Amino acid sequence: MFPANFEYFRAASVEEAVALLHRHKDAKVLAGGHSLLPIMKLRLAEPAALIDIGHIHILKGISHHRNGIRIGALTTHATIARSEVLQRECSLLSDAAAHIGDPQVRNKGTIGGNIAHADPASDLPAVLLALGARIQMAGPAGDRTVAASDFFTDLLETELREDEVLTAVDVPAIAESAGASYLKFEHPASGYAICGAAAVVDMDGGSCRSASLAFNGVTAIPHHAVAVGDALAGSDISDEAIAAAIEANLRIEEPLGDIQASGEYRVELAKVYGRRALQQARDRARS
């Protein structure tokens, strides 16, 4: 496990990181290193330079913000899982973060790195889609924001340009009247999601005000099952309604498949896990 040679720079600020990225072709941002370093050790990636952003403190932490809750890109999964603010106001994210890897991975891995890497089997992308999160980025031309639903563009590819740094993720607080659930069917080897289902259900008395369902692991980019949510809005969101909404509206094209789980099977899992996540979210909203 010996990576190829690379240059190493430690950025003191976001501006410096952006400048370094701009100056060095083939450079990569280094955050927690838990996705990047393994592939470098296998020499599947051989960046010419690493720009270490680990010491830019302003990128760490969770705070309230006008659009809800802002989570700095360098915030670790462990911090997110333990955050009282998130547990109270956006438990979907803290629950999902608690499902990532093992304690070492959660202590080092960051939310920014997780979504910048855009591994289809990661846990956070679907959660951010289901929540309607927004991604903040800084580049040579200034800051910009994209919706999570536009961020993921292909397998391991995102909106992020080569000289941009992901700075924060904004998530809305989940309404008092809503419940959420993240259920994960784990790969027995990697522990990543073969199928992860994230659901948010907002209730208005006995009927469903809105529902949002998204999946990890099933397709190259996380799948937001918008039509399923739309079909449930206004319904009584009974078990039967959920099953019917999924049967009629869950359309997954080009599922991923590997030696562990075929595409056909993943689609089946999405139906089962999608249903169960919606049921659990509904029950949590009622309780």
Name which of 160 and 269 has its Cβ closer to ligand FAD.
160
Task: Using alpha carbons, list the distances in angstroms from residue 238 to 68, 174, 178, 278, 286.
Answer: 30, 21, 15, 10, 12
From the list ligand FAD, another protein, none, which binds 61 (C-beta under 5 to 8 Å, kind-based)? none
Minimal distance in Å, beta carbon 60 to ligand FAD? Answer: 11
Give least dist CB 56 to another protein, A. Answer: 29
Using rule CB under 6 A, residue 34 touches ligand FAD: yes
Task: From the list another protein, ligand FAD, none, pick the one residue 269 interacts with, judged by a Cβ distance below 5 to 8 Å according to partner type.
Answer: another protein
Which residue in 14, 29, 197, 277 binds ligand FAD (CB under 6 A)?
29
Distance between CA atoms of residues 182 and 184, nearest Å: 7
Site for ligand FAD contains 165 (CB under 6 A): yes
Q: How many residues bind ligand FAD (CB under 6 A)?
A: 32
- Residue 245 binds which entry of another protein, ligand FAD, none, CB below 5-8 Å type-dependent: none
Give which of ligand FAD, another protein, none residue 138 binds (C-beta under 5 to 8 Å, depending on kind).
Answer: none
Residue 259, phi then psi, degrees to nearest 5: -65, -20
**Alpha carbon distance 42, 189 (integer Å):** 18
> What is the contact surface with another protein in residues (CB under 8 A)?
1-2, 4-5, 42, 185, 187-190, 192, 258-262, 265, 268-269, 272-273
Q: Which of 11, 81, 126, 166 binds ligand FAD (CB under 6 A)?
A: 166
| 93, interface contact from ligand FAD, another protein, none, CB < 5-8 Å by kind | none
User: By the 8 A CB rule, do 186 and 252 touch?
Assistant: no
Is 110 among the residues that bind ligand FAD (CB under 6 A)?
A: yes
Between 52 and 268, CB nearer to ligand FAD: 52
146 binds ligand FAD (CB under 6 A): no
Among 68, 112, 179, 217, binds ligand FAD (CB under 6 A): 112
Residue 29 site contact among another protein, ligand FAD, none (CB < 5 to 8 Å, cut-off depends on kind): ligand FAD
Distance between CA 15 and CA 8 in Å, rounded? 17
Chain contacts with ligand FAD (rule: CB under 6 A)? 28-36, 38, 53, 73, 77, 100-101, 105, 108-110, 112-114, 116-117, 122-124, 160, 165-166, 191-192
